[in-house]
Homo-oligomer: A and B are copies of this chain.
Amino acid sequence: MYGAGDVRVENVPDARLFEPTDALVRVTRAAICGSDLWPYKTMPREEQGQRMGHEFVGVVEDVGDDVRAVRVGDLVVAPFLWSDGTCVFCREGLHTSCLHGGRYGFDDVDGGQGEAVRVPQADGTLVALPVGEDDALMPSLVTLTDVMATGHHAAVTAHVGPGKTVAVVGDGAVGLCGVIAAKRLGAEQIVMLGRHQNRISLARDFGATEIVSERGDEAVERVRELTGGFGAHSVLECVGLGQAVDTALAIARPGGAVGRVGVPQEDTIDGSVAFWKNVSVAGGPAPARAYIDELLPDVLDGKIEPGRVFDRTASLDEVPDGYRAMNEREAIKVLVEP
């Protein structure tokens, strides 16, 4: 990406091993993320460009001398950040704060929207999959890299549990995965705020019990009506815009919780609204590596089908048009087949 709206498919140096803890992964499936749309909307023009993509599944082609957990030929899923798996934060399940972790597409680490990626800290990062690279479950397995894990994080940090009422702000792929996560964790009522017909019907399939299509204050009023006048115990904020955060805070029940996973586009949030009704605000980047262990069995069993958020497939050459389609909300989420 060279700037807002400017995504190009180019040849880059071949990915190769640098460190003995690296693995070289040939990408078999990748995806465009909702968070990739923020730079797509706003990135200042750059000479250098930025390599993109942090959601991918692939086959291990080579490993460094210290790699033990994955082998050449393994099909692996890569969470959207790499992490060593051994530091104090990884041991606590917060791999996103790994002391030796990092992001794809920066420094000497390749982006996931490409043919191959050097994955640092391979042992701590990659999870081998017990299926073939063209398995029918592949779209759902790709969501474990980010969106399904992120929707789950929203639900966990919003304290979703049996009998809870849940509201989901954001009908993108993460919000839709948040519906899956809320249902999976036993929510009794799941209210999705959304307006697009295809997203609404997917949300219903995933377990949403009500849809609120109003905006702003009217949406707040409608959610309150649907939740006995008090708001939702758990609110999943899956957008990141200030208005979405305000809505999330407004529809949270006193004593409830907001789980934020939308990448913040404004730095400040209204702390007074949360304070006076004792609403907790938590969330952040999802420790996908930790959640894969929990979610993978349900994907393999077909209990959850988050792969249904992909409604378009693109070759590498079609990736720029994939960004356009997602940005114009023509597609929910684009699966990339290099």
Contact = CB atoms under 8 A, between A and B. Distances in A.
Given A89-B254, A268-B269, A271-B268, A97 B277 contact: yes
B281 A280 contact: yes
Contacts of A281: 271, 274, 280-282
Contact of A271 (B96, B255, B269, B275): B269
A165 interface: no
Chain A interface mostly: mixed
Chain A to chain B: the 9 pairs with minimum beta-carbon distance, closest first:
A280-B282, A278-B284, A269-B271, A97-B254, A268-B268, A94-B255, A267-B272, A275-B284, A264-B272
A167 to B, nearest CB: 18
Contacts of A268: 268-271
A124 interface: no
Interface residues of A, number: 34
Nearest to A267: B272
A88 B283 CA distance: 27
Contacts of A287: 278
A199 interface: no
A152 to B, nearest CB: 14
26 contacts: A89-B254, A89-B255, A94-B254, A97-B254, A97-B255, A157-B278, A245-B271, A260-B271, A260-B275, A264-B275, A268-B268, A268-B270, A268-B271, A269-B271, A271-B281, A274-B284, A276-B285, A277-B284, A278-B283, A278-B284, A278-B287, A279-B282, A279-B284, A280-B281, A280-B283, A282-B282
A92 B255 contact: yes
Contacts of A285: 275-276, 278
Contacts of A272: 264, 267
Given A269-B268, A271-B260, A96 B278 contact: yes
A276 B103 CA distance: 13
Interface string A213-247: 00000000000000000100000000000000100
A92 B260 CA distance: 24
Contacts of A96: 254, 278
Contacts of A284: 274-279
Contacts of A283: 275, 278, 280
A277 B272 CA distance: 21
A276 to B, nearest CB: 6
A280 B277 contact: no
Contacts of A89: 254-255
Given A94-B255, A274-B281, 4 more contacts: A89-B255, A157-B278, A275-B283, A279-B284
Contact of A270 (B245, B254, B260, B267): B267
A285 B278 CA distance: 7
A270 B264 CA distance: 10
Interface in A248-268: 254-255, 257, 260, 264, 266-268
